[in-house]
Amino acid sequence: MAVTASVPNRLPDRATAAPRGDAARPMRLSVLGATGSIGTSTLDLVSRTPEKFEIVALTAQSNAKELAALARRHNARVAVIGDETRLGELREALAGTSIRTAAGPDALVEAALEPVDCTLAAIVGAAGLKPTFAAASQGARVALANKECLVSAGHVFTSAISRAGAELLPVDSEHSAAFQVMAGADPASIDKIVLTASGGPFRSWTRDAIAAATPEQALKHPNWSMGAKITIDSATLMNKGLELIEAFHLFPVGVDKLDCIVHPQSIIHCLVSYVDGSVLAQMASPDMRTPIAVALSWPDRMAAPTEKLDLARLATLTFEAPDENRFPALRVARAAMRRGDTAPAVLNAANEVAVKAFLDRRIKMFDIAALVEETLAAAERQGAICPAQSLDDILAVDDMARALSNEKLSGY
């Protein structure tokens, strides 16, 4: 079944956005995934105006030492580690403080349910689904950096946001850019939303050279400092396919009005074309603290220590069409978006398996897209690509897709 229309826009405009806090108290903030690149960038912003924030809960998957250090530094009430074997280490590091500690998947969900004004949801992968859904159930602001909530569970997640009366703001730089450019616009006036891609480390490489690329080469992103998984996704352009799927669920346009373009300088993050011929762009240095600051402070603006643009020094901004022959993952992701239903959930799960296999040197670069495509085809044959009604449905599909991918991986 082809997808042709999106759900209604779930993003606030200036008239409806909740204020960042009030004069009487600071914003209560939880950071899920505090030790990752998004989490640490968020807490860097917080540290610059600590009087404006009250840190409630911080979580991490396995880095107990860093989690404890962040919890102490920001005087968090709760610190939760996903890996239960690290609980002792966390407790020892926080001995003598009043910070509550816990461990395990259920504890991550409980941390997300701590009453706050805003949750920064940055747990990587499917592990972030349940905690982010829990955060949404509070009916407060969710600053979303977890791709899976929209890629794997799009309609289910946006329905949960709507039921709870929660406020959803994107943290991805491209979606934040689109949100800023489109704020208050009539959806009927939008002709196209174009996300930009840096092109990754292999933008100018030949197909043969990409085929022989090593994990070390793929991890050398030219513009951004990110975790290993998303950096590999950038190298394959799968990240741009995933972001197109996210955009479909964030903005009130159909898939035919979503596109991407390669922009090596990563200065323009999104272009929005309007029916009158106008094209509006959001520009900023490639620093995630800018979109994070937008998500924390909207409808106001907060200072961020990002490099200010000097267009005269930059001199030239360039653009080129993405090459789906050299970057087939983008084609595979577009097809999954158009297929709809649980195809994006299968895509996401299979891609996680494939990326890990590449980093473990079990498969080559082009095998990533091939494995994902084979998994999608197998899931379709089994009737597993179908409408999802709940988070449990999504998690079941995720498990199935991982099993299928691992089964097919044995043939590589």
pLDDT tens figures, 50-64:
999 999 999 999 999
For residue 107, pLDDT over 50 is answered with: yes
Distance of alpha carbon 291 from alpha carbon 153, whole angstroms: 23
User: d(Cα 121, Cα 31) in Å, to the nearest integer?
Assistant: 6
* pLDDT at residue 109, as a whole number: 98
Q: Return the pLDDT at 388.
A: 96
Torsion angle of C-alpha atoms 131, 134, 136, 137, degrees rounded to 10: 180
SS (H, E, C) 50-116: HHHEEEEEEEECCCHHHHHHHHHHCCCCEEEECCHHHHHHHHHHCCCCCCEEEECHHHHHHHHCCCC
- In the block, which residue shows the tokens 């762009």? 281
CA pair distance 218, 226, nearest whole angstrom: 12
Closest CA to 112 of 82, 134, 128: 134
Confidence at residue 23, expressed as pLDDT on a 0 to 100 scale: 53
The whole-number pLDDT of residue 10 equals 53
Residue 361 CA to residue 43 CA, distance in Å, equals 34
User: For the purposes of burial, counting CB atoms within 10 Å of the CB of 127, is it exposed (0-12), middle (13-18) or buried (19 or more)?
Assistant: middle
pLDDT for residue 19 = 47
The long-range contacts involving 208-214, CB below 8 angstroms and separated by at least 24 positions, are: 210/326, 210/365, 210/366, 211/364, 211/365, 211/366, 212/364, 212/365, 213/364, 213/365
CA separation for the pair 172, 25 (Å, rounded): 28
Q: Report whether 260 contacts 197 (CB < 8 A).
A: yes
Contacts of 398 (CB under 8 A, 6+ apart): 126, 152, 345, 348, 349
Quick: pLDDT tens for 92-102.
Answer: 999 999 999 99
Side chain identity at residue 223, one-letter code = N
At 305, list the tokens: 């220590």
pLDDT tens-digit profile of 137-189?
A: 999 999 999 999 999 999 999 999 999 999 999 999 999 999 999 988 999 99
DSSP 8-state class, residue 20: S
Per-residue tokens: 344 = 């994006």
CA 248 remoteness from chain centre: 14
The pLDDT assigned to 184 comes to 80
Nearest to 334 by CA among 253, 254, 240: 240
Could you give the percent of the chain with pLDDT greater than 70? 94
Calpha distance 351→371 (Å, rounded): 8
H-helix or E-strand spanning residue 269: strand 268-274
What is the distance between the alpha carbons of residues 211 and 218, in angstroms, rounded to a whole number? 11
User: Mean of the per-residue pLDDT values for the chain?
Assistant: 93
* Contacts (Cβ under 8 Å, ≥6 apart) of 89: 64, 65
Mean pLDDT score, 134-139: 97
Q: Which residues are CB-contacts of 338 (< 8 A; sequence separation ≥ 6)?
A: 2, 3, 255
State the pLDDT at residue 20.
Answer: 47
Cβ-based neighbour number of residue 106 at 10 Å: 11
Confidence of residue 222 (pLDDT cuts 50, 70, 90): confident
Distance between CA atoms of residues 89 and 147, nearest Å? 30
Q: How far apart are CA 134 and CA 262, in angstroms?
A: 36
pLDDT tens digits, one per residue of 373-412: 999 999 999 999 999 999 999 999 999 999 999 999 998 8
Confidence category of residue 225, pLDDT binned at 50, 70, 90:
low
Mean pLDDT score, 16-35: 77
- 340-379 pLDDT, tens digit per residue, is 999 999 999 999 999 999 999 999 999 999 999 999 999 9
pLDDT greater than 60 at residue 18: no
Whole-number pLDDT of residue 392: 96
Please name the residues in contact with 221: beta carbons below 8 A apart, sequence gap of 6 or more: 198, 200, 201, 231, 234, 235
pLDDT at 7 over 90: no
What are the sequence ranges of the domains in the chain? 175-204+212-284+304-314
Strand partners, 58: 31, 79
Q: State the Cα–Cα distance between residues 56 and 341, nearest whole angstrom.
A: 36
